[in-house]
Amino acid sequence: MGRAGEFSAACVSLPQTHSWVNPTCGTPAPARNRASSASRSCTGPAVPAIGHANPDARTCIPTPGLPTPPGECRLNLHALLAALLLCAPIAHAQDAGIPAPAGDVPGGRIPQLQGEIVIDGKLDDAAWQGALVQEIAYDIQPGDNTPAPVKTVVRIGYTTDALYLAYHALDDDPSQIRAHLRDRDAAFDDDWVGVFLDTFNDNRRGYELIVNPLGVQADLIRDETNTNNQEDTSWDGLWQSAGQLTADGYDVEIRIPFSTLRFPTGGGDQRWGISLFRNWPRDKRHQLTSHKVPRESNCFQCEWGKYEGFAGAHQGRNLEVVPTLTMGKSQRRDAAGQPWQSGDSSIEPGLDVSWAPSPAMTLNATINPDFSQVETDQLQLNFNDSFALFYQEKRPFFLEGADYFTSQFDVLYTRQIADPDFGLRVTGRTGSGAYGAIVARDATTLLLVPGVLGSGFEQLDQKADVAVGRYRYDFNTHVSVGAIGTFRQGDDYANNVAGVDARWQQGAHTATAQLLHSQSEYPLAIVDTYKDELGGDPTPTGNAWRAEYLYDSRNWNFDAWHENIDPGFRADLGFMGQVGYDKSLLGGQHTWYRDDKSFNRISVYADFDVTHRYDGQLLEREWEGQASVQGPKQSQLTLHGMTRQRFWQGTLFDEHYVDVNGNYRPSGNLQLGAYMQVGTMIDLAAEQTGRRTMLEVWGNANVGRGIAMNWDLIRQRMRRNGGTAFTATVLNAGGSWQLDPRQRLRLTLQGSDVQRDQTLYLDPVDATARDWAAQMVYSYKVNPHTVVYAGASYGAFMDDDNPDLFGDTRSMFLKLSYGWQP
């Protein structure tokens, strides 16, 4: 915003066609690590559990096997676009609770059902008699493939156009079942059942479809090769589900049209990997499966049962057309007491088309796309951090199929494609690989200008052509290689990145590597503004490479990696905010499992890393360690400490701190958490160290079946030179009322307050800065693509130049979309 100096709420305002959501700062989003990477992420083998697909998930419940040349040539963008697009391969009358047969094992032949099944949550259709019967028999977390504490019988069958599943989930105490009306992809903390599908049977990419006892859906894409984010909720399939609570538990029915899935071509028998799953959250969060999962396994998908069948399955036309209409009106004023001035107002139609010419390939096109964001992201402050904040992508066109473009470096960050006039995307699978390509015409050019000690966003007032290509080839289940390229060109601007990567995994051992090369050209205005970062060179070039080895067994984890990025390297379509350095890390963890104990998992972790500037100057030398324990009430407690030397503005400073992070569930409807950090840190604006304290309290609560509330309050303070240099407070709070499975009303409140002692700073700083915003949104969803949104937002601020808090922006919007399948 620029209103409150360097300690304002740092919200990068992307130049979107419609920015109705947040009057205070455009489209802010939470950073990847708000406090400490060690305190927020699961180190070592502790990775997000199934169903914790939210990348900002706070509870890291570990589940075994669920990871986590220079020259003057100028690339021909138009030839590349053509190549990327043209060369892609086109390529219960009976009681459903009857126990499974004795000796039942996962896997088998899925039969074709005879007769009609109505998806209503009642397992009384006669066609279920002919289904394959399976049982979810194993507790893999916290148990070690021990017998499941509750019984779950599953029936599976198919017709020529859909896969059908019925779950009869028994419970010794049905009053403890957690079931709430929720928005899509928001019921992971409930009881739920699900089916995970590896339709290509290659242990690489799979679908996860989940249903709670009231029929609320969640669906995810699982990428076994992506250790950073294996579960992605951005995919929204069109499928049917229904559930109902019963006297002895709950029942769920699911119908998955084959048009929603991608699988090999041909009409004969297929062989799929399938996992049947149940989440049973009580004192512990029990994860139950139809198959065993050894704790030493590094490939969860490899453990799924193998099922045959599906002869004659067909996908229909695989065509969907989604017209959209977005309308909005905003007003703003420059000071308190002044009249409101009309701002942006528009009525914007758009069109999205999705077509699968073959079961293994999907084409997407969008014209005049609606890239507005309906619900505001979490507010955060960035006043004592020199690097740009990460903003999560929330636009549907870029979210769907995003896993096809992942690599070890963040070379594609689609929010850099800020305001496209159109976009085209192709994704697909071959017999031994996967590919994806994106082309777009962007109405503006947004840059992330990186440096050695900091980074920031810059915008060029010019159009740009964008192309992205990614291909991965799997030699076998252990070895894969890939290539990726991102290309963007404007009038006097260009940035082209190309590289290769490889991955090897066998048993407890995983090795990965990636090499990238970039060529860039920048306008003189950018070169003059960023002299330190660009060194006066309008055509920088450079390389980036990274290699990592990971050992991950039942009790031991070891990680070693090194990366090197030249000062001239630029990935303008990615999120690589630091260049001109090399960094190495060695780390290890040991875990003790204590089955049937109150505290069932204890782990200790430590690592050492060192970072040097390209000229050899030490930037950081750091030791850190932590101990964590999981216990009753789904509790987790982590104690972490760090000490390091850190280079800033020509001086090496000593920093050290300790922090504690914990959360638990006193009941099924309430979760509470807290984080506290104390230590010596640098006040970047003053170039001095002081004693900083940070406290965060957060939680969420359910009231009845449909009301949910959440809050997150962060306060930090820096004391030095006999006074308090700054205090900063951030509040994110909200609530939602799910009126019924389709209707939802949500209220969001955000606020920040920063106070500085100007006498403790040599350079001028604002003494006070304050922002707050509110938003209300009503939504009606028939399915993920047929939706109505209506909402209003209001924001206010103050700083030294505006001592009175006043509302400066307000807006209203309406968004309509309709998913049509001919």
The candidate with the shortest Cα–Cα distance to 8, out of 810, 680, 811, 795, is 795
pLDDT bin (cut points 50, 70, 90) of residue 65 is very low
In the predicted structure, residue 25 carries a pLDDT above the cut 60: no
Count Cβ atoms within 10 A of the Cβ of residue 531 and give its class: 0-12 exposed, 13-18 middle, 19 or more buried. exposed
In the predicted structure, residue 646 carries a pLDDT above the cut 60: yes
Average pLDDT, whole number, for the chain? 84
Q: DSSP letter for 445, please.
A: E
β-bridge pairing 305-309 and 108-110: parallel
The residue to which tokens 């004023």 are assigned: 333
CB-CB neighbours of 103 under 10 Å: 5
Average confidence (pLDDT) over 691-697: 97
pLDDT value, residue 455:
86
pLDDT value, residue 805:
87
pLDDT value, residue 382:
62
Count Cβ atoms within 10 A of the Cβ of residue 803 and give its class: 0-12 exposed, 13-18 middle, 19 or more buried. exposed
CB-CB neighbours of 410 under 10 Å: 16
Of 28-32, 353-357, 626-630, the range with the highest mean pLDDT is 626-630
The candidate with the shortest Cα–Cα distance to 813, out of 797, 792, 787, 788, is 792
Q: Report the 3 state secondary structure along 551-583.
A: EECCCEEEEEEEEEECCCCCCCCCCCCECCEEE
**Can you list the positions of beta strands (E) in 258-315?**
270-281, 285-289, 305-309
pLDDT bin (cut points 50, 70, 90) of residue 373 is low
The number of helix segments (H) and strand segments (E) in the chain equals: 5, 41
Count Cβ atoms within 10 A of the Cβ of residue 359 and give its class: 0-12 exposed, 13-18 middle, 19 or more buried. buried
Count Cβ atoms within 10 A of the Cβ of residue 221 and give its class: 0-12 exposed, 13-18 middle, 19 or more buried. buried
In the predicted structure, residue 494 carries a pLDDT above the cut 60: yes
Residues 219, 119: Cα–Cα separation, whole Å:
18
CB-CB neighbours of 545 under 10 Å: 20
Residues 244, 584: Cα–Cα separation, whole Å:
53
The candidate with the shortest Cα–Cα distance to 633, out of 582, 672, 579, 594, is 672
Q: Is the peptide bond before 420 cis (omega within 30 degrees of 0)?
A: no
In the predicted structure, residue 694 carries a pLDDT above the cut 80: yes
pLDDT bin (cut points 50, 70, 90) of residue 27 is very low
In the predicted structure, residue 737 carries a pLDDT above the cut 70: yes
Q: pTM, whole model, 2 decimals?
A: 0.82
pLDDT single digits (tens) 498-555: 999 999 999 899 999 999 999 999 998 888 888 878 878 899 999 999 999 999 999 9
Count Cβ atoms within 10 A of the Cβ of residue 431 and give its class: 0-12 exposed, 13-18 middle, 19 or more buried. exposed
Percent with pLDDT over 70 in the chain: 85
Residues 28, 373: Cα–Cα separation, whole Å:
10
Q: What is the CA radius of gyration of the chain?
A: 27
End-to-end CA distance of the chain: 45
**Bridge partners (DSSP) listed for residue 139:** 146, 288
Average confidence (pLDDT) over 35-54: 34
8 Å CB contact between 44 and 605: yes
pLDDT single digits (tens) 93-112: 333 333 333 344 578 999 99
pLDDT value, residue 372:
55
β-bridge pairing 305-309 and 341-358: unpaired
Residues 172, 175: Cα–Cα separation, whole Å:
9
In the predicted structure, residue 38 carries a pLDDT above the cut 80: no
pLDDT single digits (tens) 421-443: 899 999 988 878 899 999 999 99
8 Å CB contact between 712 and 744: no
**Can you list the positions of beta strands (E) in 722-819?**
723-738, 743-756, 768-783, 786-799, 802-817
Average confidence (pLDDT) over 339-352: 86
Residues 348, 345: Cα–Cα separation, whole Å:
10
Question: Which of the two residues, 418 and 157, has the higher pLDDT score?
Answer: 157
CATH 3.40.47.10 fits 92-309, yes or no: no
pLDDT single digits (tens) 142-170: 999 999 999 999 999 999 999 999 999 99
pLDDT value, residue 61:
30
Average confidence (pLDDT) over 17-41: 30
In the predicted structure, residue 45 carries a pLDDT above the cut 90: no
Percent with pLDDT over 90 in the chain: 63
Question: Which of the two residues, 369 and 602, has the higher pLDDT score?
Answer: 602
| Structural domain spans, the chain | 5-82+319-358+360-487+495-817, 92-309
pLDDT value, residue 120:
95
The residue to which tokens 């003494």 are assigned: 767
pLDDT value, residue 66:
32
Question: Which of the two residues, 48 and 556, has the higher pLDDT score?
Answer: 556
pLDDT value, residue 344:
75
In the predicted structure, residue 67 carries a pLDDT above the cut 90: no
Residues 740, 818: Cα–Cα separation, whole Å:
20
**Bridge partners (DSSP) listed for residue 43:** none
The CATH T-level fold of domain 5-82+319-358+360-487+495-817 is Maltoporin; Chain A (2.40.170)
Average confidence (pLDDT) over 461-470: 95
Residue count (the chain): 822
pLDDT value, residue 596:
77
CB-CB neighbours of 128 under 10 Å: 22
The candidate with the shortest Cα–Cα distance to 768, out of 805, 742, 737, is 805
Residue 650, both tokens: 């020509």
DSSP letters spanning 154-223: EEEEE-SSEEEEEEEEE-S-GGG-------TT--TTS-EEEEEEETT-SSSEEEEEEE-TT--EEEEEEE
pLDDT value, residue 57:
33
Amino acid in position 242: A
Distances (CA, A) of 136 to 6, 256, 756: 54, 20, 58
In the predicted structure, residue 655 carries a pLDDT above the cut 70: yes
Helices (H), 682-749: none
Question: Which of the two residues, 61 and 131, has the higher pLDDT score?
Answer: 131
pLDDT bin (cut points 50, 70, 90) of residue 258 is very high
Residues 128, 165: Cα–Cα separation, whole Å:
9
Distance of CA 281 to the CA centre of its chain: 23
pLDDT value, residue 73:
37
pLDDT single digits (tens) 293-336: 998 888 899 999 999 999 988 877 788 999 999 899 999 998 88
Residues 540, 518: Cα–Cα separation, whole Å:
8
Residues 224, 216: Cα–Cα separation, whole Å:
25
In the predicted structure, residue 6 carries a pLDDT above the cut 80: no
